[in-house]
């Protein structure tokens, strides 16, 4: 089966060139001129691999990767940039991208990276999903006292007690639990949970009601009641069992 690849670059020439190179290799290629268009496309279409330019107006490449990691975690990502820096490379690796290429990358380099990324994706899929349907994958976390958190169904259970989360509450809990101990800024969480960028000043106001509702539901479960921790002036983290 042919793989679906998405090329995201605000420069028309670079975007067309990458698209042509990949189409000649037999991939099904779609392109997007900016980060917002890319995120909207990934929300509604299955994408096996993305090649994303780092520097774009509006949503930059790293912000696109953050959102895609949540809405389509099985998509492999190659970050392409003319601005190589140690800080960006470290940030990119923290976001679990597949590869980081400096412009101008040669067609051979790009194709080798794409091939490797798709190979990695298919081996990960075989290991983690036994069902033919990705949506049937059950993501279940069982805590020490027997409380279960079903991230797929957005459901928390302990003995006879069951609590259902809204999609936004479920996304927030998933992000925090999957990155135990990591502090997310208010702005990062708004981007990852709601899918849009906001100012550092507005972000806490947007998040506060959502976090409050989630905490209220978690209070019923002793092993989760104090796990979503506020970091003063910064954001939130999920504090796992020590």
Q: Each residue of 131-151: pLDDT tens digit? A: 333 343 347 888 888 999 998
Please, what are the domains in the chain?
4-128 (3.40.50.2300), 139-238 (1.10.10.10)
Contacts (Cβ under 8 Å, ≥6 apart) of 104: 82
pTM for the model: 0.53
| Confidence (pLDDT) at 83 | 64
Contacts (Cβ under 8 Å, ≥6 apart) of 178: none
Q: Which of 173, 166, 233, 175 is nearest to 204 (CA)?
A: 233
| Confidence (pLDDT) at 141 | 87
Those residues of the chain that have pLDDT short of 50 are: 126-138, 242
Instruction: Kindly state the DSSP code that residue 129 receives in the 8-state scheme.
Output: -
Which residue matches tokens 């990062």?
A: 188
CA of 53: how far to CAs of 82, 87, 104, 133, 168, in Å? 9, 16, 12, 30, 28
| 3 token code pair | 């793989």
| Confidence (pLDDT) at 88 | 64
- Measured CA to CA, the distance from residue 32 to residue 35 in angstroms comes to 8
Q: Classify 140 as helix, strand or coil.
A: strand
Asked whether the beta carbons of 184 and 236 are under 8 A apart, the reply is yes
Q: Which of 163, 132, 160, 167 is nearest to 225 (CA)?
A: 163
Q: Classify 19 as helix, strand or coil.
A: helix
CA pseudo-torsion sign 86, 88, 91, 96: negative
Residues linked to residue 30 through DSSP beta bridges, in sequence order: 6
CA of 194: how far to CAs of 64, 71, 75, 133, 145, in Å? 13, 11, 19, 26, 31
Asked whether the beta carbons of 29 and 22 are under 8 A apart, the reply is yes
| Confidence (pLDDT) at 90 | 59
DSSP per residue over 40-109, as a string? HHHHHS--SEEEEES--SSS-HHHHHHHHHHH-TT-EEEEEES---HHHHHHHHHTT-SEEEESSPPHHH
Task: State the CB neighbour count (10 A cutoff) for residue 25.
Answer: 15
| Confidence (pLDDT) at 127 | 39
Cα atoms in the 13 Å half-sphere on the side-chain side of 144: 6
| Confidence (pLDDT) at 123 | 60
Contacts (Cβ under 8 Å, ≥6 apart) of 24: none
């Amino acid at each position: 089966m042919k793989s679906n690849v998405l090329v995201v670059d605000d420069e028309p020439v670079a975007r067309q060139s990458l698209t042509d190179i990949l189409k000649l290799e037999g991939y099904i290629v779609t392109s997007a001129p900016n980060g917002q268009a890319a995120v909207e496309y990934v929300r509604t279409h299955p994408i096996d691999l993305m090649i994303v330019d780092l520097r774009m107006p509006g949503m930059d490449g790293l912000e696109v990767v953050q959102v895609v990691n949540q809405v389509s975690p099985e998509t492999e990502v190659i970050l392409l940039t003319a601005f190589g820096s140690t800080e960006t490379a470290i940030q990119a690796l923290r976001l679990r991208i597949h590869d980081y290429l400096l412009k101008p990358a040669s067609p051979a380099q790009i194709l080798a990276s794409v091939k490797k990324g798709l190979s990695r994706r298919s081996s990960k899929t075989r290991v983690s999903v036994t069902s033919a349907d990705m949506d049937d994958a059950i993501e279940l976390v069982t805590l020490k006292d027997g409380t279960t958190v079903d991230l797929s169904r957005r459901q928390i259970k302990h003995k006879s007690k069951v609590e259902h989360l809204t999609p936004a509450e479920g996304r927030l809990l998933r992000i925090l639990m999957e990155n135990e101990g990591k502090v997310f800024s208010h702005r990062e969480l708004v981007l990852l949970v709601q899918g849009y960028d906001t100012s550092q000043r507005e972000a806490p106001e947007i998040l506060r009601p959502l976090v409050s509702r989630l905490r209220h539901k978690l209070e019923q479960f002793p092993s989760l009641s104090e796990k979503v921790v506020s970091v003063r002036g910064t954001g939130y983290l999920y504090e796992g069992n020590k």
